[in-house]
Amino acid sequence: MADILNLLDSIPDPVVLEKAKKAIACLRRTCALYPLDKIAFSFNGGKDSTVLLHLLRAAVAQQQTTKGSAGTPSGLGGMLSFYFRQKDDFAEVKAFVEGADKEYGLAVQYLSEQDFKKGLCEYLERTGVMAIVLGTRRGDPNAGGQDVFCPSSEGWPAFMRVNPILDWTYHDVWVFLRATRVAYCCLYDHGYTSLGGVGNTLPNNSLRRPDGSYEPAYHLADGRLERVGRVHAAPAKAPAAAMVQAAHGVHAAHPNQGQGQGQGQGQAADSSSGASAGGAEAPLSGGPEGGAAMPVHHDSGEVGAGKGAGVAADTPAAAAARSGGGAQEAVSELTRSAAIVVVGDELLSGKVDDVNARFLCRELRALGWQVLRVVFVPDAVDDIASVVRALAATAEVVITAGGIGPTLDDVTMQGIALAVGQPLVRLPGMVERMAAYFGGETALTPAHLKMAEGPQHADLIDYKLPDGQASKFPILKINNIYVLPGVPSLLVQKWGALKERLRDDALAPFRNATLRLSLTDETTIAPALERVASTHGLDVAVGSYPVDNGIIVTLDSKNTRALQAAVADITELLPGDAVMALERDVDSLQ
């Protein structure tokens, strides 16, 4: 069990690592407050529950190390585990839970009572369990008002809900799972981002490629869209049952579906559906969300890795269901994620105005990429390393700008080398290009040679200048990190080459509509914005920005039909004379 403690050290994001340590401390405190055989782990096969399984293993391992226990006991040190079987569970979820049960010696008790409250009461009465460990997160529908330690609600049997990952985000979960390389549900590799039952869960359309296959869940650029695939209400032209039935034309094509715990077999359920044990609306395992899954994921770290692996394209019925029925063409809302790191003391001191981040954000968005973060860091090796390491684990691509010149304050390469765990070396290919540019190797000074340094396994990307000549200063790529200069004109020049590498025909561009209002009081339009967000929020991002002479309302989407519908709705809801202008696809609100 000590293996999980070693894996924790591989978490690259210090924020996630700190959350993991805090969660483990919470679990160890739980073990101190309650007898181990009176603590139960609600295990239902989802990504959140997968995280929790391994945090529990880490807590038990630490406890045993502290006590100097001999041997390596199986299971969770005496804690109980249970799983509520539901009639519409994914076969993969069941297989994963059973596989994890066997792999880790959990001795899971499988409960078949379909009346959840009755089944829980019987389980607690039979076992005397006093505390239940859950994978609830703040964003879960029934997590409102819960704390890390939270007594069950009135009207339910008495027990303590323990929520160690309550403050974790969607991206925190995936940073943990990918960094520790533990097995998780194979459905997550095929576009599912939040798992319930077969009857109410679809792959996430935000991950859908034009060919009908899906990107893995960890490529979801916007964690707020985690539950897009959960079907709750029936749209007017696409009843929920029809949508699910059509979508599982894809699900039925998954390899090895319903078989044992082999590679790619595990299923996961996320914490939201079962996390609020003791609540009136959500049972402990009302769906797979929050459970753990066994199949080993295939993560090459490359953009678009695993494209189409083992997943058939949607049937026409599925495509129609996703687009609202009828013969409408299915819309790809696939989005890739990027992060930008801007390096320079001069920016943080306010001596220089940044233009690079704004330029890159506009350019990436025009390509259909979503920028998750823009982080400004000083000319400090450790700061650069920490930020780059964390962002490289979250975003598909990280772009750095600045700090790659010949002077003492140019330390970006040192920081990136530290971030990726590679020695900083003098790259032969760079030395060769430098010598050709500056008149031979004998002409190269230490300052020149500093610009030839980079992480040992960096790739050199050559490109042509506007005059057709090959540049002697290639772009450096290290894993998923691209290094650009800080001088704006040089950055724009190199971006021209990088842009073509990031261009993806599968990505639709973001479109927007901008309404300039004569109103000055945002409170007067707040209800209209909430109404539009409630109706179109999964497809359209709604924003409101006060300016000197009024208010600007923005609507952004990759789905042109959804955007048009949102524009129509907001126009109807606003006062008749409020809209002074309606503009399309603007790149600035100024």
Per-residue pLDDT, averaged over 231-247, amounts to 44
For residue 542, being part of any structural domain is answered with yes
Residues 169, 225 contacting (CB under 8 angstroms): no
481 and 547 assigned to the same domain: no
Residue 162 bridge partners (DSSP): 133, 149
- Per-residue pLDDT, 252: 37
- Per-residue pLDDT, 587: 85
Going by pLDDT thresholds of 50, 70 and 90, the confidence category of residue 311 is very low
548 and 450 assigned to the same domain: no
425 and 522 assigned to the same domain: no
519 and 410 assigned to the same domain: no
For residue 22, being part of any structural domain is answered with yes
- Per-residue pLDDT, 113: 86
Residues 92, 201 contacting (CB under 8 angstroms): no
Going by pLDDT thresholds of 50, 70 and 90, the confidence category of residue 509 is confident
Domain boundary among 472, 502, 532: 502
Per-residue pLDDT, averaged over 119-131, amounts to 95
State the Cα–Cα distance between residues 349 and 486, nearest whole angstrom. Answer: 16
pTM beyond cutoff 0.85? no
63 and 168 assigned to the same domain: yes
409 and 522 assigned to the same domain: no
Question: Residue 243: helix, strand or coil by DSSP?
Answer: helix
- Per-residue pLDDT, 232: 55
352 and 385 assigned to the same domain: yes
For residue 44, being part of any structural domain is answered with yes
Going by pLDDT thresholds of 50, 70 and 90, the confidence category of residue 211 is confident
- Per-residue pLDDT, 75: 79
Closest CA to 460 of 427, 434, 507, 504: 427
Residue 426 bridge partners (DSSP): 453
- Whether 297 has a pLDDT exceeding 80, the answer reads no
CATH number for the domain including 580? 3.30.70.2860
For residue 282, being part of any structural domain is answered with no
- Whether 343 has a pLDDT exceeding 60, the answer reads yes
- Whether 442 has a pLDDT exceeding 80, the answer reads yes
Torsion of CA 49, 52, 54, 55, to 10 degrees: 180
58 and 159 assigned to the same domain: yes
Q: What is the DSSP letter of 122?
A: H
- Whether 275 has a pLDDT exceeding 60, the answer reads no
Domain boundary among 180, 202, 234: 180
528 and 488 assigned to the same domain: no
496 and 517 assigned to the same domain: no
Lowest mean pLDDT among 181-195, 316-330, 434-448: 316-330
For residue 266, being part of any structural domain is answered with no
567 and 488 assigned to the same domain: no
CATH number for the domain including 88? 3.40.50.620
Rounded mean pLDDT of the chain? 83
For residue 496, being part of any structural domain is answered with yes
For 455, the token pair is 């992480």
**Residues 378-426: tens digit of each pLDDT:** 999 999 999 999 999 989 999 999 999 999 999 999 999 999 999 999 9
Residue 370 contacts by C-beta under 8 Å, 6 or more apart in sequence?
221, 222, 335, 336, 337, 338, 364, 510
Residue 415 contacts by C-beta under 8 Å, 6 or more apart in sequence?
343, 380, 381, 382, 383, 384, 385, 388, 403
Q: How many distinct structural domains can be found in the chain?
A: 3
Domain boundary among 136, 155, 180: 180
Q: The domain containing residue 375 runs over which residues?
A: 337-502
Per-residue pLDDT, averaged over 188-202, amounts to 93
Per-residue pLDDT, averaged over 164-170, amounts to 96
For residue 79, being part of any structural domain is answered with yes
For residue 194, being part of any structural domain is answered with no
The more confident residue out of 144 and 109 is: 109
The more confident residue out of 558 and 327 is: 558
- Per-residue pLDDT, 214: 92
- Whether 174 has a pLDDT exceeding 80, the answer reads yes
State the Cα–Cα distance between residues 278 and 280, nearest whole angstrom. Answer: 7
Residue 170 contacts by C-beta under 8 Å, 6 or more apart in sequence?
139, 193, 220, 223, 226
DSSP H helical segments within 211-311, as ranges? Answer: 240-251
Lowest mean pLDDT among 194-203, 242-251, 313-322, 452-461: 313-322
For 172, the token pair is 């925190």
